[in-house]
Structures are given as C-alpha cells and as structure tokens.
C-alpha cells in the first residue's frame, strides 16, 4: 500500500529534531568558549588586507589596509617600505613610523623620505623598515593624529595597536627597536603619541612640528581632552625618549615658527638631551629630504633583536597629565582653515 506524502515525511522529524538540538548545543559550547577566551584576555587580531606589493626605488613597497576602531574609516591604509637586504631577515630590522602633515598623505611622505633613505642605507646607516600610515579623517579632517572626542576618528588608537600588529607581524618590536617621525601636523602627532606611549617608542624626530594644541576642526571637547593633547602636560614622559628636532629658519608657518626653540628649552630645563637643527629653507619636502639624511644616522638601535615579545601589542595605559595641568586655551576654529600647500611635495611618484 502506498503511503501518503505526510506519512513519508514523518520519519525525518526525529532526525531534524536531533540536528536542531546539536546546533543548539554547538552554539552554547561556542559561546562558552568565546566567553572563556575573552575572560583570559585572548582576542582575535585586526582584519588586514594586502592590496599590493612592488619594487619602489631599491626596496619593496607594500600597501596594507588595516581595521580600525572608528566610524570615519573602518579600514585605514598603511604602506611599508623594506630596503634591500643581504643575508638578513626583515623581521630583525627596527621599524620607524612616518606621519604626514595636513594636507598630506602616505604618498607624500614616501616621495619625500624614501629617496633619502636609499642614500642613507647605501652609505652604511643601519637599515630599518619604514611605515607610512594614513592619518587623514573625514569628520575632523585636521586629525592631529589623535582620537577625536566623538570617536569618529581614532587615529592614535589605531596607530598604536592594529597598525603595529599589521606592520610588525609575528615579532612585535620592543620600544628600543621602534621610532616615530613626523612632518608638520605629523611632527605634532609624532611628539604627542610618543609622549602618550613611551613604552612603545624609544626615539622621536619632529620635523617642523609644534607642541601646542592646534585643533582647527573642534575634534577635542572639554578641558580634560585638551589637557591630554597638550605636550606640556607630559614632560615627565619626555625624559624616557630620545629627541631630534628640526625647524627651517625660513619657515613662517603658523603655529610652527619658534616651536623647536620653545620645546627644546623645556627639555633642557629638565636636563633632557635633545638634538636640534635649524637649516636654511622653508616648510617643504626639500627640508624633509635633507633632514632624512641626518636623523637616521642619529638613531640608536640594539645590536641584536630583543627577546621575542608577544604577538599582539598591549595598548599603553592612558597616561595621566600632571595634577594641575595648564592646557592651552581652547582654540577657536577658523571658518575656513587654510591648509599649507607645501605639505604636498613637488616630487610625487605614485606609490
């Protein structure tokens, strides 16, 4: 006797029920495992995409996209340039992070810096990997390489966590094997980030940088945030860093003029060594290229790689400014801030 369609389907019901119960049990187990891993401090790494890799001058230029913690750019770009090596593993090299100005881009810094690095390394300067992150933002386009109060741009957090993971891979460098360099707005950013994270960076070079709050787009809200972005409130951390500063004698850019002299006096008052240079010239990548023939020779690196740290950098604890900080007065953003056109170099090979 033929069975009805309903009779034919009934024998599958126990199977489907068993499958459903199995799925539920697996979900519960997976959730428990994730919670346990989270409780033990185990986290997954950031999303990293390699977009391109090619020869640039004598080295290798790689373009990466790295996950962020922000709304403006869920993925940010960072380039790495590795010099040619003979009988040396790239993972043994120090890493230097180069921060561009505004308006600017990783491409502008690559074009202004790498040709000088080629000359440096060809004449015996200790080689390193050069990393060129993108510090631009949408909501607060003059990002200052900082985390905005509204969280829409989290540049500093990204640079000191996910970007390090992406660039340094399985061998995260010690602070003695990592330096940070910046031009113009990037000069402010390199100094401020190093002051916030002296456990991550051992050396800092500021090229036409500044050491006051210059928040053109109202990214910093409230006296606490403004104090946090004021370098003067972190002079204690400055003692842990090596300092190289340069400002061209003919650089009349506001607020840069006179900043090297002002900050170096503060360092000298605390007996903090600093190297300063005031060449002729203005606010341009000719100045940057010339300085890049100097500070790479000034860097001091360990003779051999430090012991292997953990694969994931631990973010610095939020530093506390002095008990009675004197932050800069809240800047009044101009209605139409005027960018410095010379932050974009005349030589501009497309990386």
**48-303+312-343 classified as CATH 3.40.50.10800:** no
More confidently predicted of 345 and 107: 107
Q: Which of 61, 267, 70, 266 is nearest to 167 (CA)?
A: 61
Strand ranges of the sheet holding 129-133, from the earlier edge strand across to the other edge: 48-56, 59-67, 75-82, 129-133, 95-99, 178-183, 203-207, 242-246, 274-277
What is the enclosing helix (H) or strand (E) of 48? strand 48-56
What is the enclosing helix (H) or strand (E) of 181? strand 178-183
pLDDT band at 262 (very low <50, low <70, confident <90, very high): very high
Alpha carbon separation from 68 to 42, 136, 144, 280 (Å, rounded): 18, 13, 17, 39
Alpha carbon separation from 251 to 183, 258, 290 (Å, rounded): 13, 9, 15
Instruction: Name the DSSP letter for residue 259.
Output: H
What is the pLDDT at residue 86? 87
| pTM of structure | 0.79
The domain limits of the chain are 5-39, 48-303+312-343
What is the pLDDT at residue 320? 52
Instruction: Name the DSSP letter for residue 138.
Output: S
The 3-class secondary structure across 302-340, one letter per residue, is CCCCCCCCCCCCCCCCCCCCCCCCCCCCCCCCCCCCCCC
Question: Mean pLDDT across the chain, nearest whole number?
Answer: 83
What is the pLDDT at residue 210? 98
Please spell the DSSP secondary structure of 96-118, one letter per residue.
Answer: EEEE--SS--HHHHHHHHHHHHH
Q: What percentage of the chain reaches a pLDDT higher than 90? A: 73
């Amino acid at each position: 006797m033929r069975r009805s369609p309903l009779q034919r389907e009934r024998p599958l019901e126990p199977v489907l029920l068993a499958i459903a119960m199995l799925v539920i049990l697996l979900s519960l187990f997976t959730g428990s495992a994730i919670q346990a891993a989270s409780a033990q401090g185990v986290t997954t790494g950031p999303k990293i995409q390699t977009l391109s890799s090619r020869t640039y001058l004598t080295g290798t230029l790689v373009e990466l996209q790295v996950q962020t913690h922000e709304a403006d750019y869920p993925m940010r770009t960072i380039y790495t340039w590795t010099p040619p090596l003979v009988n040396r593993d790239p993972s043994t090299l120090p890493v230097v992070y180069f921060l561009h100005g505004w308006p600017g881009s990783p491409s502008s810094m690559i074009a202004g810096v790498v040709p000088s690095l080629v000359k440096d390394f060809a004449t015996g300067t200790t080689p390193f990997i050069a990393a060129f992150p993108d510090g631009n933002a949408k909501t607060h386009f003059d990002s200052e390489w900082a985390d905005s109060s509204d969280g829409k741009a989290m540049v500093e957090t990204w640079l000191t966590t996910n970007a390090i993971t992406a660039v340094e891979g399985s061998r995260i460098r010690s602070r003695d094997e990592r330096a940070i360099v910046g031009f113009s707005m990037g000069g402010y950013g390199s100094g401020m980030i190093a002051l916030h994270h002296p456990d991550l960076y051992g050396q800092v070079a500021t090229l036409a940088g500044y050491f006051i709050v210059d928040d053109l787009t109202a990214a910093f809200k409230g006296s606490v945030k403004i104090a946090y972005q004021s370098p003067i409130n972190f002079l204690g951390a400055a003692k842990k860093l090596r300092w190289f500063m340069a400002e061209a004698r003919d650089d009349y850019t506001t607020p840069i003029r006179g900043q090297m002299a002002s900050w170096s006096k503060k360092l000298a008052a605390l007996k903090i060594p600093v190297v300063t240079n005031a060449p002729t010239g203005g606010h341009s990548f000719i100045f940057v290229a010339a300085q890049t023939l100097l500070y790479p020779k000034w860097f001091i690196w360990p003779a051999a790689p430090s012991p292997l740290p953990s694969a994931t950098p631990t973010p610095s604890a939020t530093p506390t400014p002095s008990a009675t900080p004197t932050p800069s007065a809240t800047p009044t953003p101009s209605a139409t801030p005027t960018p410095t056109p010379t932050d974009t170099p005349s030589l501009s090979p497309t990386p």
